[in-house]
Structures are given as C-alpha cells and as structure tokens.
Copies of this chain bind each other. A is one copy, B any other.
C-alpha cells in the first residue's frame, strides 16, 4: 500500500494538472473589491490547493490523446472540478453529512459560515457552465454546447445529485449489491464518466470511437468507489484528511459490508485490470490512464 504514487508517470501527471488547475482558478477567481469579496474568498478556499484532481487529469489526458489543446482541456478540467468541489461543499453541510474536515482543513461552513457555503457552492456550480460555454474552451460552439450538456446531465438529478439522494435513502433501507452499484454509478461514476467523455468531445472523437473510453471510465468508476469503501473501512483519518467509518456507524450497505473486504479488494483489482484492457487499442499515449487505473485501487488516501 505504501507503493502508491510510485508510478512516476502518474505522479508527474498529477503534479502537473494540480499546478495547472490551481493556476487557472487563481486567474479565473480574482477577489473583487466589494462585498462579494468573502464569497470569492470562500470559492477560492474550496477550489484552490486541495483534492487529487482526478477528473481534470482524465479530461486532459483523453483530450491530449486526440490532439486537443492543453489549455482548453485544463479549462474544461476546471469546470468539472468546480462541479466536484461544489458537491463536496454542499455534501459537508450540517443538514447533509455534517463533516468538519475536508482535505485536511476545516470544511467551508466551519471556516466561513453555512450561508456562504451554500452560496459558494452555487457559485462554483454556475462557474462550471460559464467556463464551458466560453470561447477559451473551444472556438467551435458545437463542442462548447456538447460539453455543457455532458456535464449538466452528469451532475443533475439523473447523475450525481440523484446518486446523493439514493445515498440518503440507503441510510433507511438496506440496499443490495445491485442497488449499491447503481447508487455509486450515479453518485461518483457519472462525473468520472463525464470527465472521459469531455476529453473525447474536446478531441473530436466520433461517437462510435468512444465505446472503449466509456468502458474504461465505467470500470475505474466502480473500482474507485470500492477502493473508497475499503479506505473508509480500514484507512487512516489523518492521511484521508476527513472523518472515516461513518457509513459503518450508520449500518449503511457498502461494497465492503456486502462483499467483505477480501472479495471487495479482489473485485476492485479485477475492475482495474479490465479497465486497462479496454485501452488495448492505444499505445504509450494512454499510459497515464493505465497508471491511474492502478493507482485508484492501490492508493492509501
């Protein structure tokens, strides 16, 4: 387990996209000289310098495999990260998961206040679509509209937000493996799938050429969630930078509670290998995606 990030390809790739996303948010979110300053400070607090940036890495890597511009991909990566970050802010609210720590620092509503956490989340949500609809992402309006459509679907009631409501329902009724799979496909899978899809849109990959990328995304999405459940079960709170074992305390069904830790780990590794298999048509240009598939199941936080 201590071998995570040993893969240099991935370590370099993550460091690079983290730097690029942080730099882009810094430019996109200047603090205004009026009463909105606190709002933008809160947005910056949540958006800059935290998180692994897995979604932007997926967008940029797939886009790069098909020759799309790096700066456009970083901007689209910022958009999907803005959605991810807003969902974490709202998820952490007292009326939701009521979490006090995130990425090793106080959550937004603790550091600022609840009202500002709601509004900073909402503002990052709107920012995502402003970024995607802007000319900097592509001079082709068809690409801009496709990106918006993809991200809006993945984040709304038929995607991430729908998955979160299913997750709330899972606290009251016992979900089976099929139910947990469906829940997680929406809650975290939809946005990971969308990241790969956005890379393909930027790279102008025709619809029929996206099947293997979608299959890859589906597999790493599930592997990611199983690994997350394993980390929640046996991980280190300090490394995670957040509270763990909340699901277990609530008796909520997870991959680990339903399959047991051994079987779950086995399944995560199987999915990771299967994901890499879907990339067989690609050469070295897909190495970062392969490294990511391995990292996702071996990471320690």
A156 to B118 Cα, complex, angstroms:
12
Chain B residue with minimal CB distance to A126?
B156
Residues of B within 8 A of A35 (CB): 165-166, 169-170, 173, 183
- A39 near B157 with CB under 8 A, answer yes
Residues of B within 8 A of A173 (CB): 35
- B39 near A161 with CB under 8 A, answer yes
A88 → B minimal CB distance (Å): 12
- A119 near B149 with CB under 8 A, answer no
A274 → B minimal CB distance (Å): 26
Selecting from A130-138, A211-219, A256-264, the interface stretch reads A130-138
The interface bits of chain A over 48-90 (1 if a CB of B lies within 8 angstroms of the residue's CB, else 0) are 0000000000000000000000000000000000000011001
Selecting from A139-147, A220-228, A238-246, the interface stretch reads A139-147
- B34 near A123 with CB under 8 A, answer no
Given A95-B118, A152-B129: A36 and B123 within 8 A (CB)? no
- A130 near B114 with CB under 8 A, answer no
- B165 near A153 with CB under 8 A, answer no
- Taking a contact as CB atoms closer than 8 A, the residue among B95, B125, B142 that contacts A122 in the complex is B125
Q: How large is the interface on A (under 10, 10 to 19, 20 to 34, 35 or more residues)?
A: 35 or more
A120 → B minimal CB distance (Å): 8
- Taking a contact as CB atoms closer than 8 A, the residue among B126, B162, B170 that contacts A161 in the complex is B126
Residues of B within 8 A of A183 (CB): 35
- Taking a contact as CB atoms closer than 8 A, the residue among B36, B148, B151, B166 that contacts A145 in the complex is B148
- A40 near B157 with CB under 8 A, answer yes
Q: Does A205 contact B (CB under 8 A)?
A: no
Q: Does A38 contact B (CB under 8 A)?
A: yes
- A166 near B118 with CB under 8 A, answer no
Task: Point out residues on A near B: beta carbons under 8 Å.
Answer: 32, 34-36, 38-40, 43, 86-87, 90, 93-96, 109, 113-116, 118-119, 121-123, 125-130, 132-134, 140-142, 144-146, 148-149, 151-153, 155-159, 161-162, 164-166, 168-170, 173, 182-183
What are 13 sample pairs from A and B whose C-beta atoms fall under 8 A apart? A34-B166, A34-B182, A35-B169, A35-B173, A86-B122, A95-B114, A115-B168, A116-B168, A118-B118, A122-B122, A122-B155, A125-B126, A129-B129
